[in-house]
Amino acid sequence: MTEVHWFDMAHPADYAGLQALIGDPDSVARLAVLVKTEGHTATNDFARQLSRTALDPLLAPWTVAGRAVAVLANGCEGVATPGGYALIERRSARAHDGPGLRLGIARSAALPPAVVGEPEAIDAVAACVSAACADAGLAADQVALAILKCPTLLASRCAGSPHRSDQHRGRAIAALGAAVALGEIDRARIGPDAIANDPTLRSAKAMTFAGPEQEAVEAVVLGHANGTNGRPGAVRLGVCHPRDMLDTASIRRLAMSLGLRFDEAGELTEPKRLLAVFSKAGPTPDGRVRGARTGVFTSAYSPDSHMRAAQSGLLGGLFGSTRFFVSGDPVQQAPPGGGVVALIVKGQP
């Protein structure tokens, strides 16, 4: 059984809450840490490096044995609380024999700088996702969500090859690699020019991130073995793809399909059963929403900052919380202007 916990962070290097959740280190069989902290998210946003420097020593006992991975992302605009999720499988839980959500993790070897940002990186991502599926004991069609972090380079390390520092391209590479591993796209269909350019090639199960603070691909897969997600008390995960930033109906339908209910005022009747919320959304190419002009591309703030702030308000109003993992740029993970939302819900006893 996979435990799902949220921890607040006072600053990007604050992992006191995570340490408290872990408890006895010897009890942990697998650990995935998904962190969302302050930062402007550009390539020279070194908050990720600060956060990683603080987190790596904490995870070292499990990382060496291949039992821990971490996905770090920045940007908490709006009303999002800086913090993260800890997904923990305990040694005593015999996770692969019980009901509910299964967790698989994997880390690739460090990608050579010449591979970062190139089509060959798609194959490295696909292999990493496949390894995470095997770790979870899940077939590709049993995976509900793959969360990935793909390396990019600092601009100073790739003079003359700016695409290798392009985080947008890195997210696309991660999404396409996941799609190949999960049987959504045949690898032969992905030509070099398709990366970050062809919206018809995408993964419906991926949520991807990219940054220069790591050199390897890290993958987290979550899913259900046949017949386990409907058992009483089982933790369930579901994914939907809102068509735009106003599509609360899709998110509400997903929540209800996982057993959550809203009262007449539109508030959750059992909010503590909602264990985790992950969301990614991006603007349309012209910045319009349902035909109306917005300031997404005419502001001093980046489009992704706008999207994160807007998502935080939408999700906060819908679920009555500020604790969620919100991100932008779902390139090759959703149609242009759309998004990805994943919910983890604890079942009724």
The mean predicted confidence, pLDDT, of the chain is 93
pLDDT band for 46, please (50, 70, 90 cuts): confident
Residue 71: inside a domain? yes
Going by C-beta distance under 8 Å and a sequence separation of 6 or more, which residues neighbour residue 228? 98, 99, 100, 102, 234
Is the residue at 217 inside a domain? yes
What are the tens digits of pLDDT across the range 8-23? 999 999 999 999 999 9
Domain that holds residue 107: 103-231
pLDDT of residue 230: 58
Listed residues 27, 58, 93: the one ending a domain: 93
Please check whether residue 25 lies inside any domain of the structure: yes
CB 182 within 8 A of CB 143: yes
What is the sign of the dihedral through the CA atoms of 295, 323, 6 and 272? Answer: negative
Return the percentage of the chain with pLDDT > 70, whole number.
96
Same domain, 125 and 226: yes
Question: How does residue 225 score in pLDDT terms, banded at 50, 70 and 90?
Answer: confident
- 239 & 336 share domain: yes
What Rg value do the Cα atoms of the chain yield, rounded? 19
What is the mean predicted confidence (pLDDT) over 114-141?
97
The pLDDT of residue 158 is 82
Contact 111, 217 (CB under 8 A): yes
> Are 110 and 177 found together in one domain?
yes
Convert the pLDDT of each residue in 48-87 to its tens digit: 889 999 999 999 989 888 999 999 999 999 999 999 999 9
- Considering the domain architecture, whether residues 110 and 226 belong to the same structural domain is answered as yes
215 with 119, same domain: the answer is yes
pLDDT at 98 over 60: no
At 93 the pLDDT is 66
Q: Please report whether residue 199 resides in a domain.
A: yes
Q: How far is CA 347 from CA 230, 237, 260, 273, 344, in A?
A: 8, 10, 9, 7, 10
Do 226 and 107 sit in the same domain of this protein? yes
Residue 208 lies in a domain: yes
Domain boundary among 201, 231, 261: 231
Whether residue 80 is contained in a domain is answered as yes
* 41 Ramachandran zone, left/alpha/beta (phi>0; psi -120 to 50): left
The number of domains in the chain is: 3
**Residue 340's pLDDT is what?**
98
What does the pLDDT read at residue 95?
Answer: 47
Same domain, 109 and 226: yes
Q: What is the pTM of this model?
A: 0.94
pLDDT tens for residues 297-326?
999 888 999 999 999 999 999 999 999 999
**Domain membership flag for residue 41:** yes
For residue 123, what is the domain's CATH number? 3.30.1330.180
Query: Which of 231, 249, 268 delimits the end of a domain?
Result: 231
Sign, Cα dihedral of 190, 194, 198, 204: positive
Q: How confident is the model at residue 156, as a pLDDT?
A: 80
In this structure, are strands 274-281 and 68-74 parallel, antiparallel, or unpaired? unpaired
Tokens representing 145? 């969500």
Residues 76 and 31 in one domain: yes
Task: For 245-255, write each residue's pLDDT tens digit.
Answer: 999 999 999 99
CATH number of the domain at 56, please: 3.30.1330.170
The pLDDT value recorded for residue 348 is: 85
Do 71 and 141 lie in one domain? The reply is: no
User: Within a domain: residue 98?
Assistant: no
Among 294-303, 322-331, 337-346, where is mean pLDDT lowest?
Answer: 294-303
249 lies in the same domain as 180: no
147 and 84 within one domain: no
Shared domain check, 144 and 57: no
Contact between 302 and 308 (Cβ < 8 Å): no
Confidence (pLDDT) at 97: 52
